[in-house]
């Protein structure tokens, strides 16, 4: 069973070339990414990502489901920001059938999206610590994340793959305890984020492993299609919540976190700032959730007219685009997802070339890859 | 054979004589079931719930599972957390083959039981990992809660405690 043989030959040019396979089963690839790394000593000469180890044909399956059904699969795509994936699909369908979402539903969506972003960044912080050799951040990150998951569970019934957003609003109304629990959580979390900074940000070992490692310039970030915290760490302004606001983000006050160094430490700082901004957004909304319907009245069977629509949202990892083509029937003709992680994997070689193989783990940790989002 | 009737053990025929098997079983099963080392093998969403089970709130090290190994040669147990597609299937089989006996498999989540949400209309998902490796415990859910994973691990411990050391742990089906 030598399934790796043919590609290896392409990477190897001379007798001295040394190729290392990382993955598909490797703890620091956060899933089943397979990297072929050509080394000279410890220096990386080339990185070849091999995809498809978790390709579940979500795009093709979307053509078999109805307009209400296909978004449920997308929770399994980028499962750490499953709420935003559902939101992107719902926005595309709403644009197609031209339905106005009630104010209450919009506010609930933003609250849930920002809580998801917090949970995702907490997990990233913990897993990054684990990758760089510190196990304490993992436990601290998960301790705080569990509190958010409890809030989700009260309202949505699930911890991870929520499927809460539907075309026209949200599926059910908020749990009566939602407001109380979120306020209590924010009070605790604002103290704990200082603990995050104390533990990792100023740590000299951490700084030496991340500063000046995996640098990508603003031009390269744009040409590789990077988005989200990765591009913002290189100084590219690309927050979809600011540039193309959706669901009422234009009414909120928050800062787009931008750093200019473009290295691993800058990406770390951007995500830490984003957590603080998410807290601010939730605080603006939590005390004034408008009354009213949580779902607009839509037909049972959605039939958009013929046409094409594109919507995009800012997930915890970057820009997720949904491109929807309808041929006038009750099923989508084609659904294409533009996922942020796919572009980040393609930029991996550019970031790690010329560096040491030990730094590859730091680069992958700060890219925050979710492999099912790459393969779909 | 009047002596061995009341004795807590059995006499087994062995090349060159016979072997007395008594409370060795209990000692071996106790040590095997309380130090199950899982392989770090997560492909998708269920892996996050597996990490939750390992972390502060649920803390699977209370029951002896905390030594997660990155290499199959040191692992006793694969918790197959996440969808297995056709490209990943040979890799899973190879990992299973590389593990030393006795080895156990937990199928975590709907995808590993039957393909789950990807059962219909998907061209790339394996409809259940029991097509590839033998499974000891199945956990339903998409994804299952960490409590469900803990329950499955305790069920697996219970299963291990019923084994005897002389019987082959697993029929040589592969």
Q: How far is B33 from chain A (nearest CA, A)?
A: 24
Mean pLDDT (chain B) is: 82
State which residues of chain A have pLDDT below 70: 1-15
| pLDDT value of position A7 | 53
Whether residue A193 is contained in a domain is answered as yes
| pLDDT value of position A46 | 86
Tell me which chain B residues have a C-beta less than 8 angstroms from the C-beta of A139: 55-56
Asked if residue B15 has pLDDT above 50, the reply is yes
Structural domains counted in chain A: 1
B-contacting residues of A 152-181, CB under 8 Å? Answer: 159-161
Whether residue A4 is contained in a domain is answered as no
Mutation to test the B interface, candidates A72, A76, A127, A137, most B Cβ within 10 Å: A76
Name the residue range of residue A190's domain. Answer: 58-375
| pLDDT value of position B139 | 92
Task: Write the DSSP string, B9-74.
Answer: SEEEEETTEEEEESTHHHHHHHHHHH---EE--B-SHHHHHHHHHHSTTT-GGGGT----BSSGGG
Nearest chain A alpha carbon to B141: A158
| N-terminal to C-terminal alpha carbon distance within chain A | 26
| pLDDT value of position A1 | 43
Q: Who among B90, B118, B121 is closest to A1 (CB)? A: B90
| pLDDT value of position A4 | 52
Phi, psi of A47 (to 5 degrees): -125, 130
Phi, psi of B13 (to 5 degrees): -70, 135
Helix axes of B146-161 and B45-54: crossing angle, nearest 10 degrees = 70
Mean pLDDT to the nearest integer, B78-84: 89
Whether residue A278 is contained in a domain is answered as yes
Strand-strand pairing, B104-108 and B77-81: parallel
State the CATH number of the domain containing residue A301: 1.10.645.10
What is the predicted ipTM? Answer: 0.84
Whether residue A76 is contained in a domain is answered as yes
Task: Sketch the domain layout of chain B as residue ranges.
Answer: 36-161
| pLDDT value of position A115 | 92
Half-sphere exposure for A116 (CA within 13 Å, toward CB): 31
DSSP classification of residue A321: E
Asked if residue B4 has pLDDT above 50, the reply is no
Task: Classify domain B36-161 by CATH architecture.
Answer: 3-Layer(aba) Sandwich (3.40)
The reported pTM is: 0.86
Whether residue A50 is contained in a domain is answered as no
CA A168 – CA A170 distance, rounded (Å) = 7
pLDDT digits (tens, 9 = 90+) for B28-53: 778 888 888 888 888 888 888 888 88
Which of A333, A310, A306, A376 lies closest to A67 in space, CA to CA?
A333
Q: Is B148 on the interface with A (CB under 8 A)?
A: no
Phi, psi of A289 (to 5 degrees): -80, 120
Radius of gyration of chain B (CA): 18
| pLDDT value of position B138 | 92
């Amino acid at each position: 069973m030598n399934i790796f043989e043919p590609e290896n030959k392409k990477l190897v040019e001379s007798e001295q070339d040394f190729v290392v396979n990382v993955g598909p089963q490797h703890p620091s690839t956060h899933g089943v990414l397979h990297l072929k790394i050509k080394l000279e000593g410890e220096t990386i000469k080339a990185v070849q990502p091999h995809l498809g180890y978790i390709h579940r044909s979500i795009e093709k399956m979307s053509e078999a489901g109805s307009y209400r059904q296909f978004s449920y699969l997308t929770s399994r795509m980028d499962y750490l920001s499953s709420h935003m994936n559902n939101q992107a699909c719902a926005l595309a369908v709403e644009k197609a059938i031209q339905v106005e979402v009630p104010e209450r539903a919009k506010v609930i969506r933003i609250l849930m999206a920002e809580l998801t972003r917090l949970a995702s960044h907490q997990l990233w912080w913990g897993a990054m610590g684990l990758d760089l050799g510190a196990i304490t951040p993992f436990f601290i990150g998960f301790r705080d994340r569990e509190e958010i998951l409890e809030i989700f569970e009260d309202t949505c019934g699930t911890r991870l793959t929520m499927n809460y957003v539907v075309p026209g609003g949200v599926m059910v109304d908020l749990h009566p305890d939602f407001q109380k629990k979120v306020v209590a959580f924010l009070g605790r979390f604002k103290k704990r984020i200082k603990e995050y900074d104390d533990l990792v940000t100023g740590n000299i070992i951490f700084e030496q492993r991340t500063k000046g490692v995996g640098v990508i310039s603003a031009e390269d970030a744009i040409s590789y299609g990077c988005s989200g915290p990765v591009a913002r760490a290189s100084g590219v302004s690309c927050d979809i919540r600011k540039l193309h606001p959706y669901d009422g983000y234009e009414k909120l006050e928050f800062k787009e976190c931008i750093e200019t160094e473009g290295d691993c430490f800058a990406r770390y700082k951007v995500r830490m700032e984003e957590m603080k901004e998410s807290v601010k957004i939730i605080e603006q909304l939590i005390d004034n959730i408008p009354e009213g319907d949580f779902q607009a009245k839509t037909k049972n069977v959605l039939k958009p007219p013929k046409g094409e629509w594109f919507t995009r949202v800012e997930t915890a990892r970057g820009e997720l685009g949904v491109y929807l083509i309808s041929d006038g029937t009750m099923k989508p003709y084609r659904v294409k997802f533009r996922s942020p992680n796919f572009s980040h994997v393609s930029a991996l070689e550019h970031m790690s070339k010329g560096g040491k193989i030990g730094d590859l783990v730091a680069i992958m940790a700060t890219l925050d890859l979710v492999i099912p989002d790459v393969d779909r | 054979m009047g002596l061995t009737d009341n004795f807590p053990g059995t006499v087994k025929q062995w090349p060159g004589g016979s072997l007395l098997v008594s409370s060795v079983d209990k000692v071996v099963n106790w040590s095997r079931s309380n130090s199950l080392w899982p392989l770090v093998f997560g492909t998708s969403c269920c892996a996050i719930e597996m990490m939750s089970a390992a972390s502060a709130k649920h803390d699977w090290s209370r029951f002896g599972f905390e030594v997660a190994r990155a290499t199959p040669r040191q692992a006793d147990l694969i918790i197959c957390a996440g969808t297995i597609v056709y490209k990943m299937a040979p890799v899973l089989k190879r990992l299973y083959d590389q593990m030393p006996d006795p080895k156990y498999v937990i199928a975590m989540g709907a995808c590993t039981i039957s393909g789950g949400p990807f059962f219909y209309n998907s061209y790339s998902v394996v409809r259940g990992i029991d097509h590839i490796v033998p499974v000891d415990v199945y956990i339903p859910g998409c994804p299952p809660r960490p409590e469900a994973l803990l329950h499955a691990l305790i069920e697996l411990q219970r299963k291990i405690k019923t084994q005897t050391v002389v019987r082959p742990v697993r029929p040589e089906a592969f």
